[in-house]
Amino acid sequence: MSNLIAAADYKILADYYSAARERVLLVNGDLFDAVYHVVLLNELQPEVDLLNTYWDSYLLSANSFETPNSLLGAVRALNAHVIVRGSYDDINEYFAANPGLEVDATWQSLSEDAGYDISDTYVV
């Protein structure tokens, strides 16, 4: 199976995408917090000067990244690669063949959104 990515590399890629997804959600939260802080200023002129622009920034980020759609193609490609190239019936068979390979819940969720249900057995 020399055409199959190593389990360690699968893990690295899964971790990168999980971390990216988590950071995007944090960015959206930070932008929303900034909007909320502007509202809490309780001073008319700063609110008038800032609120619309801060709200628009938040909406742009939230609309672009709130759903993981932009990541799912890569998630799908990696999971399809290990199944097809490894001649496995499903993603859990791949995990079972690679003892110690575990992913986090974010990767599990991304994989599920991409159509690959990873068993809780392989999630830390």
Q: Which residue in 11, 38, 18, 33 sits closest to 98, CA to CA?
A: 11
Look at residue 2 in the predicted model and tell me its pLDDT. Answer: 63
* Digit-coded pLDDT (tens) for 4-51: 999 999 999 999 999 999 998 899 999 999 999 999 998 899 999 999
Q: Domain segments of the chain: what residues?
A: 7-122
pLDDT of residue 65: 81
Q: What is the pLDDT of residues 75-124, one digit of tens each?
A: 999 999 999 999 999 999 999 999 999 999 999 999 999 999 999 999 99
Model pLDDT, residue 64: 81
